[in-house]
Structure 1
């Protein structure tokens, strides 16, 4: 790793430390509140999308990290290629750490609540329980990396073409969803999802999408202005 890439990596991760600490503090507070409510009302079971906030965080991280560091990096004459790989590497490092931490928490959660009066599935989603530690970590890593790459691309679209590009992007997503509804395509989508053997298979389909988002970001960065 050359000095420029390493500098961008460190600059990004330095900012991430604070936001990640706040993020996990809020998540644990919500978790504790949920456990307290279940205990207070005599036990029971709660299954929630505790992993969803991580994906939202990664999208926001991809947007904010680029917006905050790109002007400084280009002002310091950092090559765009070095900046790209430094920022992307930092995002992948955060995705790897988050996926490892959530995988560990899911195993702890299953062990703690096994046979207890209250059961919480906050980190231990049912789709991850049969694929092993490696499969769970790998799948979550791909999804989190994809979220970060999406955030990067959205930020660069805005940098390159302004607000109109984001309007067109989300309008295109809306039109695609509407077309699936009008032509009765959603059942086929759900049938395909159900045909997958595991969440690992889905992550393998998401992997090329992640690579495409990263490639589009690289192309946009070459033309982006501050």
Structure 2
């Protein structure tokens, strides 16, 4: 990430300090705004090509079944994972730079959070528009689903809600990982994922040994996608608070 020099030092007000930090994360739009859409465009072209091949190779009497089978796509999910990586990269690179200009850890974290919320809104809007176009064109003429998948909802409002909350989760989960790196470097990140893996395995074991898979499935079905995604706000809030607390004692990499 190439960083320019926004006016970070001695801004006039707390809000100015926070917005200057947010601007810092957009100093290199290639990483945050350009490359993700390029990769998504490549995935889109690949999907359309595959749909065309499948559609063209299918007998006319089977095309209705073929089209229904193309409704279950998940190629756009990469962008949520990518935003987690963006958060990790952005904070680990810009944190020492911002502190060098006298920015407090509190203002840095609030400014970073503002940037992540803005990015979440931008990408949610973009994906929702693409989903609407996909609906209007009957899956780009082949009945395929890349943006209007069943996983993000059937209506515009549903898609906005689901995708925005998913982006928030991955941004703030990524920021929490970044603060672990800033606080304890590679050993801390390794320990974090080891503990996370242990907790996941323990959870799976608990569900298995208590014969609760059926109950878990019924609960998820009753919650629906809106309910499930709404619960992600709990994990997002935990990640955000943990990230803020860890950043208060983090040391810039070049001074460790």
If the length of structure 2 is used for normalisation, what is the TM-score?
Answer: 0.79
Please name the residue that 1:207 is paired with: 233
Task: Provide the rounded CA distance (Å) in 2 between the counterparts of 1:184 and 1:4.
Answer: 53
Please name the residue that 1:174 is paired with: 201
Please name the residue that 1:220 is paired with: 246
Extract unaligned runs of 5+ from structure 2: 1-13, 59-65
Please name the residue that 1:28 is paired with: 41
Q: Which residue among 159, 162, 180 is the counterpart of 2:182?
A: 159
Task: Provide the rounded CA distance (Å) in 1 between the counterparts of 2:196 and 2:153.
Answer: 35
Please name the residue that 1:149 is paired with: 172
Q: Deviations over 1:44-97 (max 9, x none)?
A: 432310331121012111211110111111222211110011001101111111
Task: Provide the rounded CA distance (Å) in 2 between the counterparts of 1:185 and 1:159.
Answer: 39
TM superposition shift of 1:9: 0.5
Q: Does 1:8 align with 2:21?
A: yes
RMSD of equivalent CA atoms: 2.1
Q: Which residue among 119, 123, 130 is the counterpart of 1:98?
A: 123
Q: Deviations over 1:94-145 (max 9, x none)?
A: 11111111111111001112694x2111110124443x32221122101110
Closer/same/farther in 2, CA of residues 33 and 95 from structure 1, 3 Å limit: same
Q: Which residue among 35, 53, 70 is the counterpart of 2:78?
A: 53
Secondary structure of the 1:126 match is coil
Task: Provide the rounded CA distance (Å) in 2 between the counterparts of 1:186 and 1:67.
Answer: 39
Please name the residue that 1:191 is paired with: 218
Q: Does 1:123 align with 2:147?
A: yes
Identify which of structures 1 and 2 has the higher relative contact order when contacts are C-alpha pairs closer than 8 Å and 6+ apart.
1
* Count of matched residue pairs: 223
Closer/same/farther in 2, CA of residues 184 and 16 from structure 1, 3 Å limit: farther
Task: Provide the rounded CA distance (Å) in 2 between the counterparts of 1:34 and 1:72.
Answer: 40
Closer/same/farther in 2, CA of residues 186 and 151 from structure 1, 3 Å limit: farther
TM superposition shift of 1:19: 4.3
